[in-house]
Chains A and B, each alone.
Chain A
């Protein structure tokens, strides 16, 4: 009954899974930054990605701007939007001890974004079709689509830039310090509000980059974001909460798991397996698959 497929198919599955999983990964990196500094499960991240995808589509349809070129617009807009979202919505809630308030604001933001998108663009499935959407690349008999490969590269570049930012710049070090111990960090003169705002700005900018990748690769609708947020959370847990590279790797692993389950078990079980793995990791290896033992929480 259980025939192992020829290596060709196995490779193809792995490639598709990894390329798709990188999308979860880049969403997870944003979640990881925001969770790290604010301890907030930012459930609206997926909705922000879809919002960015619609924005990319509007730029393409109205002004003819190539989706990949629109990165130079979407990412700065994301940075600014993230900063504004923090200052306008989360600044007051961040100092409250009750973190349900931040969580609920995120939920409200998600509802608001989803339904504004429905009002503006309608609830139907949308997509961006360019001259190269259908083109593919053949390597060693396995086929990969150009847009998926580009999406993967965007995810890699985005994660790489965030890592460089966190490691090499003083502001990035402040963000890391605040994630590790906010009390000690503020005693060293780091302003929690500033760090939170930066984490939000970078997180939403990443959502913008992910939006470009989603817009060119998948059909999407205003309510597709939430499942993305959930998958990003799974990726986050797999990679180890607090690790940027781990978040991307977690996304890729999740993509692989989904691709295999879909092929060998059936499409309707992918979510159950994904969340089952999530629960198992949370319980038995809360520091993530390749993380150092996590001391806090």
Chain B
């Protein structure tokens, strides 16, 4: 297994070297790949709770938005670095501490709502509950007054932006890190416990697994990853508003990408993110007036003809086979 993953390592290395190709940084492909990384991270997050954990979360966009808001609030309010901010005006820009806090805020929210939701609700009811949770978070931020900037949101100092290079490398690095972390996790006893809970919760609990704890941990982990993705997006978009970062698309598109790539597989979400974002972006270029129509059609066609995901085709690539 480990040796066969080397093809993905080669692809990652090639992507890491891409900026050194003359003209690559200014090319369209560069920003395209940045968005593929964001969606790949979000898809991995959704796959962790839904694909490996079997708990369909329809509220992951809330964690993305929480991460984005946490970054924008810490930055524009200078809550973290105090007087250091004056001497180092770029200190919040791609600051690992800020990004980690963004993830932790989302994870904390997930643990707090996950506890009652996951202990009380099963299956469809959990999905409905998380959908309601996502909408509540959005309304809270619209009504948050000066702290959240209300319906307009918060604008971060965009003067820090000069190149897409840090976005690209951070996105790539985070994608690789998330894949490795989830790969290692799924090989550990915690990953086995998660799959056991997905496949038969009763049997898992009879074998001494604290199923609630496992599910909450997976939910919080999924939220952490989504929150970090939201933080990364803030450094790109700079204006964080309730309608943009709490948009349902931040949950629906990763969900679709994961299903297209193959739920419960390690590399499926990444492949799905790349393929589906390519389809959407191509539609945006070729038929600009109709591209959302094409997106809708693409989802339906993908589900009709590839219900098991690209995993069924597999392309002979490792990491696309569902475990468990």
Residue ranges of A at the interface with B (Cβ–Cβ < 8 Å): 35, 39, 41, 89, 92-93, 96, 98, 100-101, 104-105, 107-116, 118-119, 226, 230, 233-234, 237, 268-269, 271-272, 275-276, 278-279, 282-284, 286, 297
The distance in angstroms between the C-alpha atoms of A3 and B303, with both chains bound, is: 55
Report the minimal beta-carbon distance from A58 to chain B, rounded to whole angstroms: 19
CB distance from A252 to the nearest CB of B (A): 19
Contact yes or no, B256 A112, CB < 8 A: no
B139 at the interface (CB under 8 A from A): yes
Does B209 reach chain A (CB closer than 8 Å)?
A: no
- Compute how far the CA of A114 lies from the CA of B117 in the bound complex, rounded to whole angstroms: 31
Given contacts A115-B293, A269-B143, contact A297 B299 (CB under 8 A): no
> Among B34-42, B118-126, B152-160, B166-174, which stretch is in contact with chain A?
B118-126
Residues of chain B within 8 A of A278, CB atoms compared: 128, 132
Residue of B nearest to A113 (CB): B296
Q: Do A92 and B136 have beta carbons less than 8 Å apart?
A: no
Per-residue A-contact encoding for B227-264, CB less than 8 Å = 1, 0 else: 00000000000000000000010001001100100010
Taking CB atoms, residues of chain B closer than 8 Å to A109 are 296, 300
Are A104 and B292 in contact (CB-based, < 8 A)? no
* A269 touching B307, Cβ below 8 Å: no
In the complex, which residues of chain B have a beta carbon less than 8 angstroms from the beta carbon of A113? 296
A105 to B299, CA, bound (A): 7
Distance from B297 Cβ to chain A, minimum over Cβ atoms (Å): 6
A283 near B143 (CB under 8 angstroms)? no
Is the pair B259, A100 in contact by a Cβ cutoff of 8 Å? Answer: yes
Measured between C-beta atoms, what is the minimum distance from A221 to chain B in Å?
14
Residue B304 at the chain A interface, CB threshold 8 Å: yes
Whether the Cβ atoms of A41 and B128 lie closer than 8 Å is yes
The contact sample of 20 A-B pairs, CB cut-off 8 A, is A35-B124, A41-B128, A92-B304, A100-B263, A101-B303, A107-B256, A107-B299, A109-B296, A112-B293, A115-B293, A115-B296, A119-B289, A230-B131, A271-B135, A275-B135, A283-B120, A283-B129, A286-B125, A297-B123, A297-B125
Q: What residue in chain B is nearest A89 (Cβ atoms)?
A: B300
Residue among B248, B295, B303, B307 facing the most chain A CB atoms (10 A cut-off)? B303
Determine how close the nearest CB of chain A comes to the CB of B221; give it in whole angstroms. 20
Residues on A with beta carbons closer than 8 Å to the beta carbon of B124:
35, 39, 41, 297
Distance of A118 Cα from B224 Cα, bound (Å) = 36
Decide: B133 and A279 in contact? CB cutoff 8 A: yes
Shortest Cβ distance from residue B296 to the other chain A in the assembled complex, whole angstroms = 3
A271 close to B128 (CB less than 8 A): no
Residues in chain B near residue A269, CB distance under 8 A: 139, 143
Contacts of B139 in A (CB 8 A): 268-269, 271-272, 275
Q: Is the CB of A233 within 8 A of B136?
A: no
Which residues of the partner chain B approach A93 to less than 8 Å between Cβ atoms?
A: 303-304, 307
User: Nearest-CB distance from A165 to chain B (Å)?
Assistant: 25
Query: Do the beta carbons of A233 and B296 come within 8 Å of each other?
Result: no
A108 to B293, CA, bound (A): 9
In the complex, per-residue mask of B108-152: 1 if CB is within 8 Å of any chain A CB, else 0? 000000001100111111011101110110011011000000000
Other 11 A-B pairs with CB < 8 A, given A98-B307, A100-B255, A105-B300 = A93-B304, A104-B259, A108-B299, A109-B300, A111-B292, A268-B139, A272-B139, A275-B132, A279-B117, A283-B116, A284-B120
Query: Quick one: which of B125, B140, B290 has the most chain A CB within 10 A?
Result: B125
B56 on the A face (CB < 8 A): yes
- B-chain residues with CB within 8 Å of residue A41 when the two chains form the complex: 124, 127-128
Cβ-neighbour of B297 out of A108, A276, A284 (below 8 A) = A108
Q: Is the CB–CB distance between B299 and A233 below 8 Å?
A: no
**Which one of A100, A107, A271, A297 contacts B122 once the chains associate, using CB atoms below 8 Å?**
A297
Distance from B269 Cβ to chain A, minimum over Cβ atoms (Å): 13
CB <8 Å contact, B289 and A282: no
A279, closest chain B residue (CB) = B132
Taken together as a complex, chains A and B put the C-alpha atoms of A107 and B296 apart, in Å, by 8
What separation, in Å, do the CA atoms of A116 and B292 have in the docked complex?
9
Q: How far is the CA of A102 from the CA of B132 in the complex (A)?
A: 20
The CA-CA distance from A226 to B248 in the complex, in Å, is: 10
**Is the Cβ of B125 less than 8 Å from the Cβ of A112?**
no
When the two chains form their complex, are residues A104 and B140 in contact, meaning their CB atoms are under 8 A apart? no
Q: Please give, as numbers and ranges, the residues of chain A lying within 8 Å of B255 by CB-CB distance.
A: 100, 104
* B264, chain A: closest CB distance, angstroms: 10
Task: Give chain B residues whose Cβ lies under 8 Å from the Cβ of A92.
Answer: 304, 307
Closest 4 CB pairs of A and B: A108-B299, A112-B296, A111-B296, A272-B139
CB distance from A173 to the nearest CB of B (A): 24
Q: A92-B307, A100-B263, A283-B120 known; A272 and B136 CB under 8 Å?
A: yes
